[in-house]
Structure 1
Amino acid sequence: MKKVALLVAAALMAPSAFAHQAGDILVRGGAVTVTPNSSGDDVLGTGHLDVQSNTQLGLTFSYMLTDNWGVELLGATPFSHSVRTAGLGEVAKVKHLPPSLVAQYYFGNAQSKVRPYVGAGINYTFFFDEKGRGPLAGTDVEADDSWGLAAQAGIDMAVTDKLFVNGSIWYMDIDTEVTTAVGNFDTSIDPIGLMVGLGYRF
């Protein structure tokens, strides 16, 4: 039993081949669900524009500047959201892409098998393919593009020396003016994004 215990202790203390270190490129992919926290102007007494959740494929690309500092670009396939009000039901459909660039700090060291991290930076959201629905069917709907802050927290857990499991959560500050046939309405979307997937270290 002593020999077994010593072998286990030695394995736990041995340096791992897994590493996030200066010069590494980290590519992550997985399902990302965007859940808006909508608020804003009232639409003719029917409530504010309420943007519904959507799930798409998320991709991130990180470059490690040092063993602990990195930069990351978030991308995704286009999100498609139903837009509703409490009194009118669905009034529009809209698509958007939210590329975000953040600076990251990774906790632990290059040999840690688990690397929690946090990040902060900027988000640019552009809207496209806006369509009126329900009472606005057949009318023009337009949402202005948005610049805002972005923040994230995440964790990487080693599977092999190159492959790892990832989970992350994002917050994005997204404000837009929505132009419709019945008026213009300022809307804050401010979504939370939750991503779960796999990553690979190059």
Structure 2
Amino acid sequence: MKQTGVAILLSLSAISAANAQSAGQWTINAGWMHLSPQDSSQPMTVNALGRSATVPGSGTSVSDADTFSLTATYFVTDHVAIETILGVPPKLSLSGTGSLSGLGEMGSARVWSPAILAQYHFGAPNARLRPYLGAGLSYVWFKNIELNSPVATGQFLYSPTLGTHLEGPTSASLSKSLAPVINAGLTYNIDSHWSVGVSASYVWLSTKATLTTRSSLGTVSSSTKVKINPIVTFVSVGYRF
């Protein structure tokens, strides 16, 4: 009986160790990410003919987006981990609001935002449920910018005074930035390799949107600062090795 009891204890110990998220281990998670912008913007400023003017009541809003994402987490200790986040760049759409609401959807862009976070995982390494908190930085830039017709042709620059003279072919640029990130999550360890997880992050993200129009009267520059500040939720399946 004593030998049987010792065998059972050793078996339970082996199971606990197998389920542990411990120092030196890697976990790869794959899943679905949802971005919900908590957006706001400054009024648009137009620079033309040597003058600068603000368009009263102008604004923009940013759409929600979904994408597939991957994370790689390395446990430096039983509690401290470093996580990197990559994924398919989501497509965000920008629409006019206020005095620009008549433009509807102004354009869209793909957002590239790899991130690195330091995390603290609570509880014992062999716990089934492990909550965590994290903070880090994301480097953000935009590609594949597409403008809809009223913006691409400069129609948004029509004025009663100058008529269509400020209109013309228009291109867009969005500034790059380093964005602070905080996140919180929960991992459920199914067995020695597989787990499921949920997390929520907040990103302090803003960009300067600039429209450059080649009009018959010269180059016209229109710009606004857009705060995107998304809440990012992530549901995933993980494999530990």
Same fold (TM over 0.5): yes
Query: CA separation of 1:92/1:46 partners in 2, compared to 1, >3 Å: closer, same or farther?
Result: farther
In the alignment, does 2:227 pair up with 1:188? yes
Given candidates 70, 78, 88, the residue that maps to 1:67 is 78
Q: 2:203 aligns with which of 159, 162, 172?
A: 172
Structure 2 counterpart of 1:194, which letter?
A: T
The Cα shift of 1:134 comes to 4.1
Query: Does structure 2 retain, via aligned residues, the 8 Å contact 1:101–1:123?
Result: yes
The CA distance in 1 between the partners of 2:132 and 2:237, in whole Å, is 16
Residues 88-114 of structure 1, C-alpha deviation per residue, up to 9 Å, x if partnerless? 210111111111111000000111111
Alpha-carbon distance between aligned partners in 2 of 1:118 and 1:134, rounded to the nearest angstrom? 44
Stretch moving more, 85-94 or 101-110: 85-94
Matches within 5 A, 1:143-158: 143-158=174-189
Runs of 5+ unmatched residues, structure 2 = 1-7, 45-54, 154-169, 213-220
Distance 1:195 1:70 in 2: 18
Structure 2 CA distance for aligned equivalents of residues 185 and 159 of structure 1:
48
Aligned equivalents of 2:20 and 2:90: distance in 1? 33
Distance 1:100 1:199 in 2: 18
Asked whether the equivalents of residues 46 and 85 of structure 1 are also in contact (C-alpha less than 8 Å), the reply is no
* d(CA) in 1 for partners of 2:151, 2:43: 16
Question: Structure 1-normalised TM-score?
Answer: 0.89
Which residue pairs with 2:5 in the alignment? none
CA distance in 1, matches of 2:128, 2:195: 9
SS of structure 2 residue aligned to 1:66? coil
Find out whether 1:122 has 2:158 as its counterpart. no
**What secondary structure is seen at the aligned counterpart in 2 of 1:49?**
strand
Note the aligned Cα RMSD (angstroms): 1.7
Contact kept? 1:106, 1:117, Cα under 8 Å: yes
1:85 aligned residue: 96
TM-score, length-scaled by structure 2 = 0.75
- Unaligned ranges ≥5, structure 1: 1-9
Aligned equivalent of 1:50? 61
Q: If you compute each CA radius of gyration, which structure gives the higher value, 1 or 2? A: 2
The 10-residue stretch of structure 1 (163-172 or 136-145) with the greater mean CA deviation from structure 2: 136-145
For this pair of structures, how many residues does the alignment match? Answer: 191
Identity in percent: 28
Per-residue CA deviations over 1:112-148 (Å, capped at 9, x if unaligned) read: 1111111001111111111211421352111011112
1:46 positional shift: 5.2
